[in-house]
Amino acid sequence: MEQDRDAGSAAQEQALMTALFTPAGRDDPAVTARSTPVVGCGYAFATAALHDRRLTATPIPPSADLMFQVVARFLSRMNDERHSLVRTAFTGLFSPRRIERYRGQIESTSAMLIDALPSTGPLDIVRAFARPLPFTVICNVLGVPAERQPWLAERMEAFGRAVAGQRDHTNVQAGNTATREMLAFFDDLLSNRQHRPLDDVVSLLAASGQAHEHRDDLLANCIFFILAGHATTTTLITAGVHLLSTHPAQLASVQRDPSTWPDAVEELLRLISPATLTGVTATEDTKVANCPVPEGATRAIVFAAANRDPTVFAEPDTFDVTRTPNPHLAFSAGARYCLGAPLARLHAEVALTMLFTRLPGLHTIGEPTWLGSVPIRQVARLDVDWSPPRGDTTQ
């Protein structure tokens, strides 16, 4: 009976994965996921599973493709001692206190990008602002030299397209090439910082004991932090612009009281859920939220759906910047809680405040164009316009 039940759960999750690769699944994975009976779409199961040490991260299957070999080394996919060792190497590097040091950098980069915009739109806010802002900042945080950042951006775009379009091997081949080149780059950078340290994350990693013993894991996670750090934040900023500009009462609320921007960002995180899902595997027979999970069975944890569970969030599809409490799972939970959460929050708070202040009348033209939703939502384009001309607040 348990085998039949587990086979049914596996079939349901496979159907969900197939659905998330459809146009509807790319546009709104939360709606797609909630239409399925997958148990990991519920908040209670998702929360319990993320805190249960008997459920570990589902490993990436063995692959001949280098990009998937590297993904298997991402911190989000590691378990046990390896996870602890690599997480320890990064823990503290993205603490709220340390991240606050980057507020000025985020503000100056945002101002520079806004100053470079034409006097009027329309334009694609993704390419002009929402992608280059977090990419530039996370590169600076890690220690990527400014002159190499455009080169790295091209490789990261190829890697991101390969993740979003992994069912097309042409994309994966391009991702393999980009991965090989990025690994070589970070290997050289780590070696350089071992001899000539600077005030950046790679220098701190180079000085840690992991730089020799777990070098391949550190190199893979340099890629991971740039991918996860800028792709999810790009989505958060872009979709945030769309939601705020299409909900003028909510926008007016935070503009009247700027101290509420952090609450607005939490609501954006809940509703957007830039990280769509993850997977866990049971190390023994167990029950999670009264649902049996046999040893060796895998379960999807669908953040996008759990964050709109009506048993936890009143009117879950409603955008409400005053929502409190707001115990969303946008950054996962438990031992897998996202290390980069403080940096993502700070990006959104600074960027959205500046965009709607510096570009009065900012509004979107149409809907975002989504590139993919597995395992993170990747946005390709969102056209915007504004009036009156930026900087003119007399009207």
Token reading at 102: 């980057």
Give me the tens of pLDDT residue by residue for the chain, a chain 395 residues long: 555 556 678 899 999 999 999 999 999 999 999 989 999 999 999 999 999 999 999 988 899 999 999 999 998 888 877 777 777 777 666 777 778 888 999 999 999 999 999 988 899 999 999 999 999 999 998 999 999 999 999 999 999 888 878 878 899 999 999 999 999 999 999 999 999 999 888 998 888 767 667 889 889 999 998 988 899 999 999 999 999 999 999 999 999 999 999 999 999 999 999 999 999 999 999 999 999 999 999 999 999 999 999 999 999 999 999 999 999 999 999 988 988 899 999 999 999 999 999 999 999 999 999 998 988 999 999 999 998 654 444 33
d(CA 138, CA 136): 6
Nearest to 340 by CA among 163, 92, 49: 92
List b or e across 368-383, with b for residues whose CB sees 16 or more CB atoms inside 10 angstroms.
bebbbbbbbbbbbebb
**264 and 252 Cβ atoms separated by less than 8 Å:** no
d(CA 207, CA 197): 8
The pLDDT assigned to 393 comes to 41
Nearest to 66 by CA among 210, 157, 184, 164: 184
The pLDDT assigned to 391 comes to 46
Contact partners, residue 199, CB within 8 Å, separation at least 6: none
Over residues 94-153, the pLDDT tens digits come to 777 778 888 999 999 999 999 999 988 899 999 999 999 999 999 998 999 999 999 999
d(CA 390, CA 387): 7
Give kind and range of the element (H or E) at residue 36: none
**294 and 282 Cβ atoms separated by less than 8 Å:** yes
Q: Is 92 left (phi over 0), alpha (psi -120 to 50) or beta?
A: left
Instruction: Please state the pTM of the whole predicted model.
Output: 0.91
d(CA 310, CA 289): 17
CA 19 remoteness from chain centre: 20
Token reading at 187: 């290997």
Over residues 223-270, the pLDDT tens digits come to 998 988 899 999 999 999 999 999 999 999 999 999 999 999 999 999
The pLDDT assigned to 395 comes to 34
d(CA 243, CA 384): 12
Top CATH class of 2-385 equals mainly alpha
For the beta carbon of residue 78, count every other beta carbon within 10 angstroms. 22
For the beta carbon of residue 171, count every other beta carbon within 10 angstroms. 19
List b or e across 183-215, with b for residues whose CB sees 16 or more CB atoms inside 10 angstroms.
bebbeebbebbeeeeeebbbbbbbebebbeebb
The pLDDT assigned to 390 comes to 46
Q: Which residue carries 């391949």 as its tokens? A: 216
